[in-house]
Amino acid sequence: MTPEPLIALEGITKTFGSGAAAFQALKGVDLTIARGEFMAIMGPSGSGKSTTMNILGCLDVPTGGVFRFRGVEVQKLDRDQRSLLRRRYLGFVFQGFNLLARTTALENVELPLLYRGESKAVRREAALRALDQVGLVPWAEHTPAELSGGQQQRVAIARALVTDPDVLLADEPTGNLDSERSVEIMELLRRLNAAGITILMVTHEEEMAAFARTIVRFRDGLVESIERGALAGEEHPA
């Protein structure tokens, strides 16, 4: 008996707008993602990869189909229930880092715990642990403006990690970084994946996708191909 996959997409469609202006971004996507996966989602712009990512991140709901996350049918949940799902199980890393300006790295990392109602002491301890995972404890009291792009992205990863999520969703996490910083970030993601976190990453760079276990390619709102067990990154010693 195969265990229930962590994530299952069945016949997912997504239509934006209505009538003549309607645009079908997803035309029936089927995808299952097992716990511990490190998946890169690729595809040209307009292929539906970002829309899929938004649905996987419970930020958006599909127009049709079934999206099961931990056995729960997410498309049936309301806005606040999806917020609670994100708060509890998901961590986000964005291309633009999206840290709060004029707020220290430590406070940025503490932010998700604030919404969990954790005490100040718990928040601080967990945030420092997360910053330690990304090697930024000495920078805890610095604001984003005082950090390099690579450091900002590592703070963002620490923020995603601090709640100990099941899934880390990374949307072009290296899009704003030079190749050296990008490799650093990817190696960090690999380490986190090895520690048990499921990672879903959108990227358009083959070199970055090579770090993932599985590469899913989108085209015209459908899954074009799935390359499992790529593990190209194994060649790079971590």
Partner 1 sequence: MLGTSILLALREIRRHILRSILTTLGIIIGVAAVVTMVTLGNGVTASVQEQISSLGASNFIVFPVRTTRGTIRPFEEGDVRAVRQQIAGIKVAAGSVSASVTAFTNGQDWDTTVEGGTNDLLEAQSVKIAEGRPFSADELESGKSVCLLGVKVREAIFPPDANPVGSQMRLDDVACQVIGVLEPRGQGGGGADDDDVVYMPLKTVQRRFKGSDNLEYFVVKYDPDYAATAIQQSLVDLLRERRLLQAGEPNDFNIIDTAQINQALGAATGALTAMVAVIASISLLVGGIGIMNIMLVSVTERTREIGIRLAIGALAREVRLQFLTEAVVLCALGGLVGLALAFAASFGIAAAIDVPFVFDPVINLVSFLFAAGMGIVFGYYPARRASQLDPIDALRHE
Q: Which parts of this chain interact with partner 1 (CB under 8 A)?
A: 54, 57, 59-60, 79-80, 83-88, 90-92, 94, 98-102, 111-112, 114-115, 117, 159
- Based on CB atoms, which residue is closest to partner 1, 164 or 234? 164
- Based on CB atoms, which residue is closest to partner 1, 92 or 211? 92
- Based on CB atoms, which residue is closest to partner 1, 100 or 195? 100
- CA–CA dist 127, 75 (Å, integer): 32
> Nearest approach, Cβ of 160 to partner 1 (angstroms)?
8
The CB-side HSE value for 107 (13 A sphere, CA atoms) comes to 9
**Tokens (6 digits) for 24:** 């079908």
SS3 176: coil
Cα-to-chain-centroid distance, residue 236:
22
Among 133, 140, 136, smallest CA distance to 165 is for: 133
> Nearest approach, Cβ of 99 to partner 1 (angstroms)?
8
What stretch of H or E contains 168? strand 167-171
DSSP 92: E
- Based on CB atoms, which residue is closest to partner 1, 23 or 115? 115
> Nearest approach, Cβ of 83 to partner 1 (angstroms)?
5
- CA–CA dist 163, 22 (Å, integer): 38
Residue 228: exposure state from Cβ atoms within 10 A (0-12, 13-18, ≥19): exposed
> Nearest approach, Cβ of 198 to partner 1 (angstroms)?
17
- Based on CB atoms, which residue is closest to partner 1, 79 or 229? 79
In the block, tokens 């390619």 appear at: 217
Across the chain, which distance is largest between two alpha carbons, in Å?
55
- Based on CB atoms, which residue is closest to partner 1, 85 or 232? 85
> Nearest approach, Cβ of 42 to partner 1 (angstroms)?
20
> Nearest approach, Cβ of 219 to partner 1 (angstroms)?
22
